[in-house]
Copies of this chain bind each other. A is one copy, B any other.
Amino acid sequence: MTHKNSKSVIVVDAMGGDFSPLNEVLGADLVSQERDDIDIILVGDKNKISDVMLKHKITWPEDKIVHADEVITMHDNPTSAIKSKQNSSLVVGAKLVREKIADGLISAGNTGAMLAVSTLVIGRVKGVGRPTIGVPLPTADGGVCNLFDAGASVDCKPQHLLEYAIMGSIFAREIFGIKNPKVGLLSVGEEESKGNELTLLSHKLLKETKLNFIGNIEGRDILKGTCDVAICDGFVGNVILKFAESMITLLKGRLGLYANESIFKKIKIGLMRGTLKKVLGDLDYQKYGGVPLLGINGVSIIGHGSSSPLAIKNMIIRAREIHAKDLAYKIEESLKEYAEQSKN
């Protein structure tokens, strides 16, 4: 497996996003101009992909475009679509990863379908009960807190939260370069005795690990930067994530209402907008890149439907990083170690 450190083959689902295949092709082209450690395979409607390339004067090797004549849309039911649309770009792309022709898959399409295809077609890492989506949230000190699970599984058992902690810790260490990532369990109070059934039991499991587990954290600790990895079930994670996105909506709305009170206020707010955008830009994580699905036997990065070419580029590069660091292997080894420990 030495190739993993020298080069990665990343499949781009060219038909997933709201602006497909345009943004996918442009994003892939950006990467190919800059990086020689990444080979990209575009999967999708060959005619449409070629049209974009012709229009934007992009040359691309014929064998790095794989035709797929179906598309899983945002409205498709994930699980049934991956069965009924075997010729979709997403399923064809996932099969390339399963067959080890490629190392990773990125898609700005249907999130549920990407989850399903990654789990069912590419397959889980040995020992992983539930793969998990991780999302980096900005912290007040200029850093990030990685939230696991951000929506892959809405009903979890303590064992799943333990797996999230292990995977999240490896992710923070390998990708964010944090030596001994602090792991916090999201609950309703700092004391071990505070929480719901799930967190009370999970706390007991996490305490027994060699992870740098700092105990329970509260909602306010995520953005404060109290820990590097925050653990919760996917229901809570999804709600928080979407709530965080809407902070910008609130800020914009309230600033707008204030601006409408007078001309003077309108000017004042106008002058503030640029600065606020710079300061809070990274809150809108989805526009700037995708989120990884960990616990998959290969790399899987899920992007927002409205991903820009830059976002697509960032997703491809993140996929390369995860593959270069061999996260799937490290997760498998780590879980094996924990399983052996808990036997003793």
Contact = CB atoms under 8 A, between A and B. Distances in A.
A258 interface: yes
Interface stretch (A7-15, A86-94, A219-227): A219-227
B140 A254 contact: yes
Nearest to A258: B279
A257 B280 CA distance: 12
Contacts of A139: 250, 253
A249 B235 contact: no
One complex includes copies of this chain to the number of 2
Interface string A289-300: 000000000000
Interface of A is mostly: helix
A251 interface: yes
Given A247-B223, A272-B275, A239 B242 contact: no
A186 interface: yes
A238 interface: yes
Determine which residue in A154, A197, A257 has the highest number of CB atoms from chain B within 10 A of its CB, and name it: A154
A286 to B, nearest CB: 11
Contacts of A151: 188
Interface in A154-174: 154-155
Contacts of A253: 139-142
A45 B186 CA distance: 38
A262 to B, nearest CB: 12
Nearest to A251: B280
A232 to B, nearest CB: 8
Contact of A219 (B140, B241, B251, B255): B241
Contacts of A140: 246, 249-250, 252-254
Interface of A: 138-142, 151, 154-155, 186-188, 195-197, 199, 218-224, 232-236, 238-247, 249-255, 257-258, 265, 268-269, 272, 275-276, 278-280, 283
24 contacts: A138-B254, A140-B249, A141-B253, A141-B257, A154-B195, A186-B239, A188-B238, A196-B233, A199-B235, A219-B238, A219-B243, A223-B250, A232-B239, A236-B236, A239-B240, A243-B243, A243-B244, A250-B283, A251-B279, A254-B280, A258-B275, A258-B278, A268-B275, A272-B272
